[in-house]
Structure formats: structure tokens, C-alpha cells
């Protein structure tokens, strides 16, 4: 399809991350032509409760969509794809927001992916040892949907649970909002809801965990029409949504992806020829896509199912059709780095100095580390200071939400040098966490030769370098930094029929830079 000088077709990708909504206009060669972002609200009404508003998120989608198509011939826009975090959206029978909080604030109708309120619920679910748990690494995460649903039933029975008509994963809410079609994506249901691509829903699981009411009406509240990512939904964009988004009514809208899976799709098929990389000529199963933003998600695919204790999956066709997927994860990586840096006594000084130099605090810290390192490489500055990064539990491979963070080697001083070294130790701790996940995946049967990084943290050269140094693997950065958005646009391209599959759409991501 690609080729020729003038792009014939455009596709819009929409990526709803934790902190902001991003949109991109992408052409049929996978080139990103326009980008816009818009922050979204987050509430943390109490510790471990993280909430958002579906109306606030949709409004942000409308802002960024209109921005990226400014000046474009709307008739050339062929498709729209969404990816989003795996947050839980709650609507009543008339699709109106319902409160997920005891305050009854229905603006806050989303339980976010990193919310850890449902601890006792997930403990009871794991106690059942139900067979579906084999397909989430043996232990269900508190961040998945069943524990949160059980929490709503047990804690907000009258104000939320009994009134609820629809429980959506956020990516599926967005595609419903765009098309009026309540079909769910195979990606979200397989990865976060225990749905099996082969067998569908398992009644015995929902009954065993006390959510038997979801089985009634053939799972109407959580989805009984399931489509592969990239499938075209209904009659496409509704006139109302088209007006909201500033896009042509009727354009194809794709069944969605979770954000990490869109990022994985956006990079894992990249053309690596000519860079002398270990993975050149190797199967795509030798590549590990690491989508590193607020959290980090480690996406490895295989032709046959691989059961990795403590690593989510194996999930069939949840990211690349026809492949099994294992997803390792670290719940807080960017968020942890922000937490450590912003909470340090020297942060005001850092902020002032970075601003004076017109730099981000991370660019400033990276250059400060180069300034204070001695004869040895910068990584040796932390020889006496170490961080254990599980401040929000361990998602993979230990799969233990009770674990906490730890710092050892602190002194009485709290100056800018101390902050820089603590920042470095945190980045290294995250890279060691990635190494632990890779070791678990390889012991179970994966064979990984190259890391493909994308997401906000991939823009931090120190973060990338520490991943290469500590895992001992080459790290590939794609030419297009917004790979998650390219992944979302690939969905729209596939739904439009211009590409026969998401793989074909995704293999035009190009490698721009490598690090060894």
C-alpha cells in the first residue's frame, strides 16, 4: 500500500495514558504528521484509591482530535483507533456515569488501572485457585477488573452496583463512545477480564468469586460481543461523535487496544535492517517491547503458549494476531522516578536550576551526573546507594502487592548531588526489575535478544542506557517516538480496510537509533 510521494490516506490514533490524552495524524507509511496532547484529571481521594472521569477524558479526546486534523482534507481521513489504560469505567443502564466512591461523586466514574483498593477481594479470588488464573501468571493482580468489580458490589451496592448497566475497560468505552457499539476488544477482555479467545467466558469463575450476577443476560454488562483489535465497529463514527471529535461521520473506528499493547504493536514489527542488530534476521519472538511511562510493561510474544509464573498471560492474539503474549510489568516506573525526585529536599533547587537552563529536571539531572561522575562510568556513582523499587507492590515476576520500596545507603546530606545519585539508583533499580522479568520469561521458554523501548521514559537517555547496561541487551528506539500512537493509528488503518491486518500496518515502524 505505502509508496508514492503524496499520502493518499490519513488515520487518527488516540492514546489515553495515565496523565494525558494524546492524538496523532498518521499517513499510510506510518509517518506521524501531527501530534497534540491534553492533560486529564486524576483524583486520589484516599491512599491507593485512584479515580478519573470518563466525561473529562472524552472532552480531552475532542480537544486533541480537532487539533491534529486542522487544515487537513477531512475526506482523506480513513480510520480512527483508540488505545487507553486498562481502567474500569462504570455507567448506568442509560450509559450515564456512576460514582465509584463513597462520596457519590459521579464525575469520578473510573477506577484507574493503578488503584489498589481491592486487596481483600483479589486475595479471595486467588484463594480459589480457579483455572483461569493460569492465564494471568498464576496470580491475579489487584489492578485487574474482577477484584474491582467485587469491591464495587461489596462496598457501593446501592449507589453504584445495583444501578450499573455497563462496565467497560477504558479502551472499549472510547470505541463505544465513538460508535455506539458495545462490542469489546479481544485485547482488553483476554488481558484484564479472564475471557478466553478459544472458550469465551468461564461461568464457573464468576460464580465462584461471587459475581454470578454478571453471568445473567449472557454477560450483557461486561460484554458478549468480542472483536479482534483492528476490526471495524458497526457503521463507524456516529454523527454525534464526529461532531465532538471534528472528524467525518462514518469513518471506520477500530476495536481498541490497551495502551501497552498498542505500544507493543507499534514497535515490535519494526524494520531493523542495516543496524547490525542481534535481532536482524531473527524471529519477532526474540524481541521484547518495553512500554515505559508511568508504569512499564514488558511485552513478549511466542508462537505457542508459555506459562511464566508471576508474568501475566499467556494471552492469545491480544496484541499481535496469531501470537501468544506474555506481559511483565512494573506498576510504577515513571511515577516512581517522579516521586523520588519531587519528594527530595533538594528538588526546589533542582527545579530552579533546570528552569534557568531551560531544561527538564531530568535533562538537568543527567548532565549533573556526568559532571560529578569520577573516572568510572556514571553507573558506578551508586556503589553505596541502592533502591528496591516496589513502592506500589511488585507486579512481575514476584506478583506480590504487599511488597514495599526501600532505600539503603542514605547519609545526613541532602544536596543536589544526593538527589542526582538517588535518581540514578532509582533508574537502575527499575532496570534491574526489567532484568528480573526477562530472566523469569527466559527460564519459562522465551529467548529474548533485543529490547524495543517506547513511552515517555524512552525519551530519557539515562533510563535507556541503564536498561542496556543492566540487562546486557541492545536497546532499540523507533524512529517515531510516539509509537503507542502509531499503534493506535494502525488499528484505524486496519479497520478502514486499507491494510488486511494490524501486522501489515505495524511493520512500517522504522528503527531510528540503537544503543548497545
Ligand X SMILES: O=C(CO)[C@H](O)[C@H](O)COP(=O)(O)O
Ligand Y SMILES: Nc1ncnc2c1ncn2[C@@H]1O[C@H](COP(=O)(O)OP(=O)(O)O)[C@@H](O)[C@H]1O
Query: Mask: binding to ligand Y, 14-33, rule CB under 6 A, as x and -?
Result: ---xxxx-------------
**Angle 277-283-288 from CA coordinates, rounded to 5°:** 70
**Residues 398-434, buried b or exposed e (16+ Cβ, 10 A)?**
bbebebebeeeeeeeeeebebbbbbbbbbbbbbbbbb
Among 28, 65, 85, 434, binds ligand X (CB under 6 A): 85
Contacts of 136 (CB under 8 A, 6+ apart): 144, 194, 312, 313
By CB under 6 A, residue 294 contacts ligand X: yes
Q: Please, which residue, 265 or 440, has the CB nearer to ligand Y?
A: 265
* Closer residue to ligand X (CB): 50 or 177: 50
Distance CA(453)–CA(292), nearest Å, equals 7
- Judged by beta carbon, residue 312 or residue 364, the one nearer ligand X is 312
Q: Which stretch binds ligand Y (CB under 6 A): 206-214, 244-252, 441-449, 451-459?
A: 451-459
C-beta separation of 15 from 80 below 8 A: no
DSSP H or E run through 126: helix 119-127
Q: Which does 362 bind (CB under 5 to 8 A by kind): ligand X, ligand Y, none?
A: ligand Y
CB of 24 to ligand Y, least distance (A): 13
Return the C-alpha cell found at 456. Answer: 515517555
| Cα 505 from Cα 78, distance rounded (Å) | 14
Q: Taking CB under 6 A as the rule, does residue 259 contact ligand X?
A: yes
Q: Does 86 bind ligand X (CB under 6 A)?
A: yes
- Contact between 329 and ligand Y by CB under 6 A: the answer reads no
Which residue in 86, 189, 457, 468 binds ligand Y (CB under 6 A)?
Answer: 457
Classified as helix, coil or strand, 495 is helix
- At 277, is the secondary structure helix, strand, or coil? coil
- Which residue, 299 or 476, has its beta carbon nearer to ligand X? 299
For residue 236, the minimal CB distance to ligand X (Å) is 26
Residues 264-293, mask of contacts with ligand Y (x by CB under 6 A): -----------------------------x
Q: Which residues contact 216 (CB under 8 A, 6 or more apart)?
A: none
Enumerate the β-bridge partners of residue 476.
452, 514
Binding of ligand Y by 296 (CB under 6 A) = no
Work out whether 168 is an interface residue with ligand X (CB under 6 A). no
What does the alpha-carbon distance between residue 55 and residue 383 come to, in Å, rounded to a whole number? 48
The answer to the question of residue 297 lying near ligand X (CB under 6 A) is: yes
Over the window 357 to 376, marking each residue x when it contacts ligand Y by CB under 6 A and - when it does not, the resulting string is: ---x-x--------------
Q: Is 54 in the site for ligand Y (CB under 6 A)?
A: no
- Choose, by CB under 6 A, the member of 353, 373, 459, 515 that binds ligand Y: 459
Q: 311: closest CA among 204, 203, 156, 446?
A: 446
Kindly tell me the sign of the dihedral angle through the C-alpha atoms of 266, 271, 275, 276. Answer: positive
| 256 near ligand Y, judged by CB under 6 A | no
Residue nearer to ligand Y on the CB measure, 98 or 299: 299
Residue window 108-147: x/- pattern of binding to ligand X, with contact defined by CB under 6 A: -----x-----------------------------x----
Contact by Cβ (8 Å): 109, 91: yes
Whether omega before 65 lies within 30 degrees of 0, making that bond cis, reads no
Residue 260 binding ligand X, by CB under 6 A: yes
- Number of chain residues interacting with ligand Y (CB under 6 A): 17
Tell the smallest beta-carbon distance from residue 427 to ligand Y (Å).
10
Q: Which is nearer to ligand X, 125 or 381 (CB)?
A: 125
Please tell me the number of Cα atoms within 13 Å of 13 on its side-chain side: 38
Of 62-70, 215-223, 294-302, 376-384: span binding ligand X (CB under 6 A): 294-302
Minimum Å distance from CB 158 to ligand Y? 34
Among 17, 264, 474, 487, the residue binding ligand X under the rule CB under 6 A is 17
Task: Examine residue 379 and tell whether it contacts ligand X (CB under 6 A).
Answer: no
> Which set of grid coordinates corresponds to residue 130?
480457579
Q: Which does 338 bind (CB under 5 to 8 A by kind): ligand X, ligand Y, none?
A: ligand Y
Say how many CA atoms lie within 13 Å of 441 toward its Cβ.
30
Strand order, beta sheet including 450-454: 312-316, 324-330, 296-302, 287-292, 450-454, 475-478, 511-515
88 binds ligand X (CB under 6 A): no
For residue 366, which phi and psi values (nearest 5 degrees)? -60, -40
- Minimum CB distance to ligand Y smaller for 20 or for 224: 20
**Does residue 478 belong to the site contacting ligand X (CB under 6 A)?**
no
Cβ(308)–Cβ(326) under 8 Å? yes
Q: Can you give the binding site for ligand Y, defined by CB under 6 A? A: 17-20, 293-294, 334-335, 337-338, 360, 362, 455-457, 459-460
Amino acid at each position: 500500500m505505502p509508496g508514492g510521494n503524496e499520502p493518499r490516506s490519513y488515520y487518527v490514533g488516540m492514546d489515553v495514558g495515565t496523565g494525558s490524552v494524546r492524538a496523532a495524524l498518521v499517513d499510510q507509511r506510518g509517518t506521524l504528521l501531527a501530534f497534540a496532547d491534553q492533560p486529564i484529571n486524576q483524583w486520589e481521594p484516599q491512599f491507593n484509591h485512584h479515580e478519573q472521569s470518563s466525561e473529562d477524558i472524552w472532552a480531552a479526546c475532542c480537544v486533541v482530535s480537532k487539533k491534529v486534523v486542522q487544515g487537513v482534507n477531512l475526506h482523506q481521513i480513513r480510520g480512527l483507533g483508540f488505545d487507553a489504560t486498562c481502567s474500569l469505567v462504570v455507567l448506568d443502564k442509560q450509559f450515564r456515569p456512576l460514582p465509584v466512591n463513597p462520596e457519590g461523586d459521579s464525575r469520578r466514574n473510573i477506577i484507574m488501572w493503578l488503584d489498589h483498593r481491592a486487596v481483600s477481594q483479589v486475595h479471595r479470588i486467588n484463594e480459589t485457585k480457579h483455572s483461569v488464573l493460569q492465564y494471568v501468571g498464576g496470580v491475579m493482580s489487584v489492578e485487574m477488573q474482577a477484584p474491582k468489580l467485587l469491591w464495587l458490589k461489596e462496598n457501593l451496592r446501592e449507589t453504584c452496583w445495583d444501578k450499573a448497566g455497563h462496565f467497560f475497560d477504558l479502551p472499549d468505552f472510547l470505541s463505544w463512545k465513538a460508535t455506539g457499539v458495545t462490542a469489546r476488544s479481544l485485547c482488553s477482555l483476554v488481558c484484564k477480564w479472564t475471557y478466553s479467545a478459544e472458550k469465551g467466558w468461564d461461568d464457573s469463575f464468576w460464580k465462584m468469586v461471587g459475581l454470578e450476577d454478571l453471568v445473567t443476560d449472557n454477560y450483557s454488562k461486561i460484554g458478549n460481543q468480542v472483536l479482534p483489535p483492528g476490526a471495524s465497529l458497526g457503521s463507524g463514527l456516529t454523527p454525534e461523535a464526529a461532531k465532538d471529535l471534528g472528524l467525518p461521520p462514518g469513518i471506520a473506528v477500530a476495536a481498541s487496544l490497551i495502551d501497552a499493547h498498542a505500544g507493543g504493536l507499534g514497535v515490535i514489527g519494526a524494520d531493523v535492517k542495516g543496524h547490525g542488530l542481534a535481532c536482524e534476521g531473527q524471529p519477532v519472538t526474540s524481541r521484547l517491547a518495553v512500554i515505559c511511562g508511568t508504569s512499564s510493561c514488558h511485552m513478549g510474544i511466542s508462537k505457542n503458549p508459555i506459562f511464566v509464573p508471576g508474568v501475566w498471560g499467556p494471552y492469545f492474539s491480544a496484541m499481535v494476531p496469531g501470537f501468544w503474549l506474555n506481559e511483565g510489568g512494573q506498576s510504577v516506573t515513571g511515577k516512581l522516578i517522579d516521586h523520588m525526585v519531587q519528594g527530595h529536599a533538594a528538588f526546589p533547587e533542582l527545579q530552579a536550576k533546570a528552569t534557568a537552563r531551560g531544561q527538564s529536571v531530568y535533562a538537568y539531572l543527567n548532565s549533573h551526573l556526568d559532571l560529578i561522575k569520577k573516572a568510572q562510568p556514571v553507573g558506578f556513582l551508586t556503589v553505596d546507594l541502592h533502591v528496591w523499587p516496589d513502592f506500589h507492590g511488585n507486579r512481575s515476576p514476584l506478583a506480590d502487592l504487599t511488597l514495599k520500596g526501600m532505600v539503603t545507603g542514605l547519609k545526613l546530606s541532602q544536596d543536589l548531588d544526593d538527589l542526582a545519585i538517588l535518581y540514578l539508583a532509582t533508574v537502575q533499580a527499575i532496570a534491574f526489575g526489567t532484568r528480573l522479568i526477562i530472566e523469569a520469561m527466559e527460564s519459562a521458554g522465551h529467548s529474548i535478544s533485543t529490547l524495543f523501548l517506547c513511552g515517555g521514559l524512552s525519551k530519557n537517555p539515562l533510563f535507556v542506557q541503564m536498561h542496556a547496561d543492566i540487562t546486557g541487551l541492545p536497546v532499540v528506539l523507533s524512529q517515531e517516538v510516539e509509537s503507542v500512537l502509531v499503534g493506535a493509528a494502525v488499528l484505524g488503518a486496519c479497520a478502514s480496510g486499507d491494510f488486511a491486518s494490524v501486522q501489515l500496518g505495524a511493520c512500517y515502524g522504522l528503527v531510528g537509533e540503537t544503543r548497545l
